[in-house]
Amino acid sequence: MKFSYVSHLQCPKCDKQYNAGEKHQLCECGSPLLVNYDLESLRDILKPEDLIKRKADLWRYKELLPVQREENIVTLGEGMTPLIPMERIGAEMGIPKLHMKDEGIIPTGTFKARGAAVGVSMAKELGIPELAMPTNGNAGASWALYAARGGIKSTIVMPVDAPKITRNECAIAGANLYLVDGLISDAGKIVAQTVQNQGLFDVSTLKEPYRIEGKKTMGFEIAEQMDWKVPDVILYPTGGGVGLIGIYKALKELQTLGWIPEGKLPRLVAVQSDGCAPIVKAWQEGKKESEFWEGSETLAFGINVPKALGDFLVLESLYETNGCAIAIDDATVLEEQKRIAELEGAFVCPEGAAVFAAARRLREQNWIKEEEVVVVLNTGAGIKYPDTVDFELPTLQPGELITKTEVLIEDQE
Amino acid sequence: MKFSYVSHLQCPKCDKQYNAGEKHQLCECGSPLLVNYDLESLRDILKPEDLIKRKADLWRYKELLPVQREENIVTLGEGMTPLIPMERIGAEMGIPKLHMKDEGIIPTGTFKARGAAVGVSMAKELGIPELAMPTNGNAGASWALYAARGGIKSTIVMPVDAPKITRNECAIAGANLYLVDGLISDAGKIVAQTVQNQGLFDVSTLKEPYRIEGKKTMGFEIAEQMDWKVPDVILYPTGGGVGLIGIYKALKELQTLGWIPEGKLPRLVAVQSDGCAPIVKAWQEGKKESEFWEGSETLAFGINVPKALGDFLVLESLYETNGCAIAIDDATVLEEQKRIAELEGAFVCPEGAAVFAAARRLREQNWIKEEEVVVVLNTGAGIKYPDTVDFELPTLQPGELITKTEVLIEDQE
Residue extents of the structural domains in chain A? 83-108+212-382
Q: How far is A39 from chain B (nearest CA, A)?
A: 26
Is the pLDDT at B409 greater than 90? The verdict is no
User: Closest Cα of chain A to B329: distance in Å?
Assistant: 20
For chain A, the straight-line distance linking the first and the last C-alpha, in angstroms and rounded, comes to 58
Asked whether B51 and B60 are in contact (CB, 8 A), the reply is yes
Our separate counts of H helices and E strands in chain A read: 13, 14
A147 near A173, Cβ under 8 Å?
yes
Q: What pLDDT, on a 0 to 100 scale, did the predictor assign at position B241?
A: 94
Residue of B nearest to A164 (CA): B386
Choose the closest CB to A389 out of B56, B78, B171: B171
pLDDT surpasses 90 at B142: yes
Percent of residues, chain B, with pLDDT higher than 70: 98
pLDDT of residue A387 exceeding 90, the answer is: no
Mean pLDDT of A247-254: 98
pLDDT-derived band at A408 (thresholds 50, 70, 90) equals very low
pLDDT for A8 beyond 80: yes
Q: Which range has the worst mean pLDDT, B14-28, B92-106, B384-398? A: B384-398
Which residues, at least 6 apart from A107, have a Cβ–Cβ distance to it below 8 Å?
A: A76, A77, A78, A113, A142, A145, B82, B102, B104, B105, B346
Q: Which of B372, B178, B408 is nearest to A400 (CA)?
A: B178
A404 touches chain B (CB under 8 A): yes
- Measured between CB atoms, does B386 come within 8 Å of chain A? yes
φ and ψ at A113, to 5 degrees?
-60, -35
Q: Do A165 and B386 touch (CB under 8 A)?
A: yes
Report which residue type is found at B65: L
Residue spans of alpha helices (H) in B263-413: 278-284, 311-320, 330-344, 350-364, 406-412
- From residue B101, alpha-carbon distances to A173, A223, B146, B209, B408 in Å are 19, 28, 22, 24, 33
Q: In the prediction, which pLDDT does B1 show?
A: 83
Name, in order, each residue with C-beta under 8 angstroms of B168's C-beta and a sequence gap of 6 or more: A347, A382, A383, A386, A389, A391
Rounding to the nearest 10 degrees, give the CA dihedral for residues A112, A117, A122, A125.
Answer: 160
pLDDT band at A104; cut points 50, 70, 90:
very high
B219 touches chain A (CB under 8 A): no
Tens of pLDDT, residue by residue over B16-38, are 999 999 999 999 999 999 999 99
Across the beta sheet with A374-378, the strand order is A83-85, A98-102, A374-378, A233-237, A267-273, A324-328
Helices (H), A211-329: 211-225, 242-257, 278-284, 311-320
Q: Do residues A186 and A159 lie in contact, with contact meaning Cβ atoms separated by under 8 Å?
A: yes
pLDDT at B386: 79
Give the gap in angstroms from C-alpha B43 to the nearest C-alpha of chain A: 23
A199 and B CB contact within 8 Å: no
Query: Which residue from A137, A118, A229, A144 is spatially nearest to A184, judged by alpha carbons?
Result: A137
User: For B252-281, what is the mean pLDDT?
Assistant: 96
pLDDT beyond 90 at B131: yes
For residue A183, what pLDDT is reported?
A: 85
Query: Which residues from chain A sit within 8 angstroms of residue B164, using beta carbons?
Result: 386
Check whether B405 has a pLDDT greater than 80: no
pLDDT higher at B323 or B394: B323
A71 touches chain B (CB under 8 A): no
Q: Which of B49, B103, B149 to mutate to test the interface with A (most CBs of A within 10 A)?
A: B149
- Rounded to a whole number of angstroms, the distance from the CA of A286 to the nearest CA of chain B is 34
Amino acid identity, position A31: S
Quick one: pLDDT band at residue A313, thresholds 50, 70, 90?
A: very high
Looking at the complex, does the CB of residue B105 fall below 8 Å from at least one CB of chain A? yes
Mean pLDDT, to the nearest integer, of A69-93? 98
- The whole-number average pLDDT for the span B154-159 is 96
Whether the per-residue pLDDT at B407 is higher than 90: the answer is no
3-state secondary structure of A201: strand
Q: Are strands A201-202 and A130-134 parallel, antiparallel or unpaired?
A: parallel
Neighbouring-strand partners of residue B10: B17, B34
A160: left (phi over 0), alpha (psi -120 to 50) or beta: alpha
Classify A83-108+212-382 by CATH class: alpha beta
Does residue A374 contact residue A368 with C-beta atoms inside 8 Å? yes
Please tell me if residue B56 touches chain A, with a CB cutoff of 8 Å: yes
**Sorting pLDDT into bands at 50, 70 and 90, what band is B413?**
very low
In this prediction, residue A381 carries a pLDDT of 96
Across the beta sheet with A17-19, what order do the strands follow? A17-19, A6-10, A34-37
Please judge whether A186 and B160 are an interchain contact, meaning their C-beta atoms are less than 8 angstroms apart.
no
Q: Which residues, numbered 138 to 167 in chain A, qualify as contacts with chain B under a Cβ-Cβ cut-off of 8 Å?
A: 145-151, 153, 155, 157, 160, 164-165, 167
Q: What is the pLDDT of residue A404?
A: 63
Quick one: how far is CA B31 from the chain centroid? 20
Out of A88, A338, A395, whose CB is closest to B179? Answer: A395
Interface check for B87 against chain A (CB to CB < 8 A): the answer is no
Q: How far, in whole angstroms, is CA B271 from its chain's centroid?
A: 12
Percent of chain A's residues with pLDDT above 70: 98
Choose the mutation target among B86, B154, B168 for the interface with A, i.e. most A CBs under 10 Å.
B168
Are residues A141 and A166 in contact, defined by beta-carbon separation less than 8 angstroms? yes
**Interchain contact, A179 vs B396, CB within 8 Å:** yes
Across the range A31-52, mean pLDDT stands at: 97
CA angle at A153 for the pair A149 and A155, rounded to the nearest 5°: 120
Q: Looking at residues B262-275, what average pLDDT do you find? A: 96
Considering CB atoms only, which of B52, B341, B397 is closest to A181?
B397
Rounded CA-CA distance A345/B300 in Å is 26
- Residue A265: DSSP 8-state: P
For residue A411, pLDDT over 60 is answered with: no
Q: Do residue B386 and residue A164 have CB atoms under 8 angstroms apart?
A: yes
With a cut of 70, say whether residue A195 has pLDDT above it: yes
Q: Are A258 and A39 in contact (CB under 8 A)?
A: no
Contact B363, B336 (CB under 8 A): no
- Distance in angstroms (rounded) separating the CA atoms of residues A169 and B386: 9
Of all residues in chain B, the percent with pLDDT exceeding 90 is 88
pLDDT tens across B163-191, in order? 889 999 999 999 999 999 988 889 999 99
CATH topology (fold) of B83-109+213-388: Rossmann fold (3.40.50)
For chain A, what is the mean pLDDT?
94
Amino acid symbol at B178: Y
Q: How many CB pairs under 8 A join A and B?
A: 265
Average pLDDT over chain B, rounded to whole?
Answer: 94
Q: How far is A272 from chain B (nearest CA, A)?
A: 23
Residues 357-376 of A with CB under 8 A from B: none
Question: Where does B154-232 have alpha helices with state H?
Answer: 164-172, 184-198, 211-225
Residue of B70, B71, B165, B392 best to disrupt the A interface, most CBs of A under 10 A = B165
A392: nearest CA partner in chain B: B171
Task: Measure the CA–CA gap between B276 and B303, rounded to whole angstroms.
Answer: 8
Residue pLDDT, tens place only, B290-305: 999 999 999 998 899 9
| Of B238, B131, B136, residue with least CA distance to B187 | B136
pLDDT of residue B412: 39
Residue of A nearest to B183 (CA): A398
Give the whole-angstrom CA distance, residue B206 versus residue B195. Answer: 15
User: Which chain A residue has its CA at the smallest distance from B184's CA?
Assistant: A398
pLDDT at B183 (0 to 100): 85
Residue B197 contacts A, CB cutoff 8 Å: yes
Q: Rounded to whole angstroms, how far apart are CA atoms A303 and A325?
A: 13
In chain A, which residues have their Cβ closer than 8 Å to the Cβ of B347?
108, 145, 168-169, 172-173
Mean pLDDT of A40-44: 96
With beta carbons under 8 A apart, name residues in chain A contacting B393. 167, 171, 177-179
Q: How large a percentage of chain A has pLDDT more than 90? A: 88
Q: Does A168 touch chain B (CB under 8 A)?
A: yes
What ipTM was assigned to the predicted interfaces of this complex?
Answer: 0.94
HEC string of A136-154 equals: CCHHHHHHHHHHHHCCCEE
